Structure 1
Amino acid sequence: MAKVLIVDDAAFMRMMIKDILEKNGFEVVGEANNGIKAIEIYKKEKPDVVTMDITMPDMDGIEAVKQIKEMDPNAKIIMCSAMGQQTMVMDAIKAGARDFVVKPFQPDRVLEAINKVLG
C-alpha cells in the first residue's frame, strides 16, 4: 500500500484528496498546511508520494519541492494547482515535481497521476 502525504493550506482540499486516496487503497500518512510542515512530515514518514499545493502561507509548494528533492532526490511529488497557475506549475516541474493535477480535483485524474509517478 502506497503512503501519501497531502499538502494543502485548505482543509477542505486535503479532505477531498484524502477521501479519493483512501477509497482507492492508499494510506495517508500525513497532512500539512504549508511547505515547512510538509518537509518535517516528509522527513519523519518518508511517504511514497506527495500531493503538493502551490500557493500556501509560510512556504509555498515550489520551495517545498526544492527542499524535499535536496533531501531525497527520488521524491515523487505531484503538484496541485488552480486554473491559471501554468507558470508556477512549470516552475514546480523544473524544481522536480513529476506531474500536476488541476483543482477542482477529478478523482480519476488524481489516481492516474499517482499511479503514473509510482510507476
Structure 2
Amino acid sequence: MAKIMIVDDAAFMRITIKNMLKKSVHEVVGEAENGKLAVERYRALSPDIVTMDITMPEMDGLQALREIISINPGANVIMVSAMGQEAMVREAIMSGAKGFIVKPFKEEGILSAIDKLA
C-alpha cells in the first residue's frame, strides 16, 4: 500500500482522484491546491507517490516537481495534466517525474501508473 498526495488546483479533480484511489489498496495522506503547498506538505507527510498537476497558481507543477526532487531525488511524482504537449512531457520526465497522465484520464490509467510505482 502506498501513501499518496494529490496536487491539483481544481478541488473536483482532487476529489475525483481520491475517489478512484479509495477503490484501491492505496491511502491518500494529503492534498495540495498549488505547488508551494505541495512542497511544504511533501516535507511534512513524506508520501510514497505524488500526483501533480502542471498549471497551478503560486508555483506550477514543474517547479514543485523540481523542488520535491531536490528534497528527495528518489521521489515518485506522476504528472497529471491537460497539457499533454510533447515538450511539457519531456520537461517533466527530464526534471524527475516517473510518469505522465493526460487529462481527461480513465480510472485504470491512474491506478495502473500508481501501481507501477507502489
SS at match of 1:111: helix
Q: CA RMSD in A?
A: 1.0
TM-score normalised by L of structure 1: 0.94
1:116 maps to 2:112:
no
User: What is the CA distance between 1:85 and its match in structure 2?
Assistant: 3.1
Contact 1:4 1:50 in 2 (8 A): yes
Report what 1:78 is aligned to.
Answer: 78
Contact 1:99 1:117 in 2 (8 A): no
Contact 1:82 1:102 in 2 (8 A): yes
SS at match of 2:91: helix
1:10 maps to 2:3:
no
Gaps of 5+ in 2: none
TM-score normalised by L of structure 2: 0.95
Which of 86-95 and 7-16 deviates more? 86-95
Report what 1:45 is aligned to.
Answer: 45
Q: Which runs of 4+ in 1 moved over 2 A?
A: 83-86
Q: Distance in 2 between matches of 1:14 and 1:71?
A: 24
Q: Distance in 2 between matches of 1:18 and 1:55?
A: 19
Q: Percent identity?
A: 56
User: What is the CA distance between 1:84 and its match in structure 2?
Assistant: 4.0
User: What is the CA distance between 1:86 and its match in structure 2?
Assistant: 2.8
Gaps of 5+ in 1: none
SS at match of 1:29: strand
Count of residue correspondences? 118
Deviations 1:38-69 (A, max 9, x none): 00110011000000001101100000000000
Letter in 1 for 2:81: S
SS at match of 1:37: helix
